[in-house]
Amino acid sequence: MIRKIIQIDEEKCNGCGLCAEACHEGAIGMVNGKAKLLRDDYCDGLGACLPSCPTGAISFVEREADAFDEAAVLENKRKTGQPPVPHMCPGSQARSLNRARPAEPVAQAEVPSQLRQWPVQIKLVPVSAPYFDGANLLIAADCAAYAYGNFHRDFMRGKITLVGCPKLDGVDYSEKLTEILRRNDIKSVTVARMEVPCCGGIEMAVKAALQKSGKFIPWQVVTISTDGQILD
């Protein structure tokens, strides 16, 4: 079957082993000081290993590969003495976020939208548009605006906003983002991502686009926790 799966660039790999530690399924191992994809059917294609790689050696490809086999993963964990953790992306785990209710309703002024253009989805925006000229660009994970209460005020104000979810869209954003950066006078880039591993895909796409654009553009990454706190 043709499916999304990771690939590891051996020349970029520095042998740190962080990706092997991040891979809960045991798909990645260290061979002769380099990270290797040991078995296709152990790789779930969610990319929890991507954010851990300090050199950008790991990327997604679509190719002929065996389907992910959760039973084989669990059997391997049993043989190697690892605890059998049910397969689930941290970004999909159900949880309740308990928040204290205010004692009395507090009257608040209406918060105006800070959205400055349409469309906002990375898949839908054109690669060239007048609003990109001289823009400070915000590239945000879909969930970020729901997790962080003051997202419009603290992140979107004064910026052109693009949003996406690499896990749900199943595409490589880097090519389109590269063209946006190449064709327009972008002044800065801010990435707002969630803490879950699969959200690392949007950060990696922006890094790749910045490198391929051939431009020096100031950029930063802000990580938001699932309970709405800024982590870095």
Q: Can you say how many angstroms the Cα of residue 85 is from the centroid of all Cα atoms in its chain?
A: 23
**Distance between CA atoms of residues 224 and 125, nearest Å:** 24
As a whole number, mean pLDDT of residues 69-86 equals 75
Pair 80, 134 in one domain: no
**Domain stop point among 27, 60, 88:** 88
Pair 201, 144 in one domain: yes
Q: Is residue 30 part of a domain?
A: yes
Q: Is residue 96 part of a domain?
A: no
Pair 136, 207 in one domain: yes
Looking at residue 83, what is its pLDDT? Answer: 55
Q: What is the CATH number of the domain that holds 151?
A: 3.40.50
Q: Is 11 exposed, middle or buried (0-12, 13-18, 19+ CB in 10 A)?
A: exposed
Pair 149, 211 in one domain: yes
Question: Cα 5–89–50 angle (5° rounding)?
Answer: 45
Q: Is residue 38 part of a domain?
A: yes
pLDDT tens column, 28-54 = 988 888 899 999 999 988 887 887 787
Looking at residue 183, what is its pLDDT? Answer: 96
pLDDT tens column, 12-26 = 888 888 888 888 888
Looking at residue 144, what is its pLDDT? Answer: 93
pLDDT tens column, 79-122 = 877 654 444 455 566 666 666 666 566 666 777 899 999 999 99
Q: Tokens for 67?
A: 């389907």
Q: Is residue 168 part of a domain?
A: yes
Q: Is residue 216 part of a domain?
A: yes
Q: Is residue 26 part of a domain?
A: yes
Handedness of CA 185, 171, 139, 53 (dihedral sign): negative
Q: Is the overall model pTM greater than 0.75, yes or no?
A: no
Q: What is the CATH number of the domain that holds 11?
A: 3.30.70.20
Q: What total of structural domains would you count in the chain? A: 2
**Domain stop point among 88, 103, 121:** 88
Looking at residue 87, what is its pLDDT? Answer: 46
Q: Is residue 11 part of a domain?
A: yes
Pair 84, 135 in one domain: no
Comparing 96-105, 143-152, 182-191, the range with the smallest average pLDDT is 96-105
Q: Is residue 229 part of a domain?
A: no
With tokens 């660039």, the residue in question is 9
Residue 21 structural domain: 2-88
Q: Is the pLDDT of residue 163 over 90?
A: yes
Closest by Cα among 151, 158, 135 to 193: 151
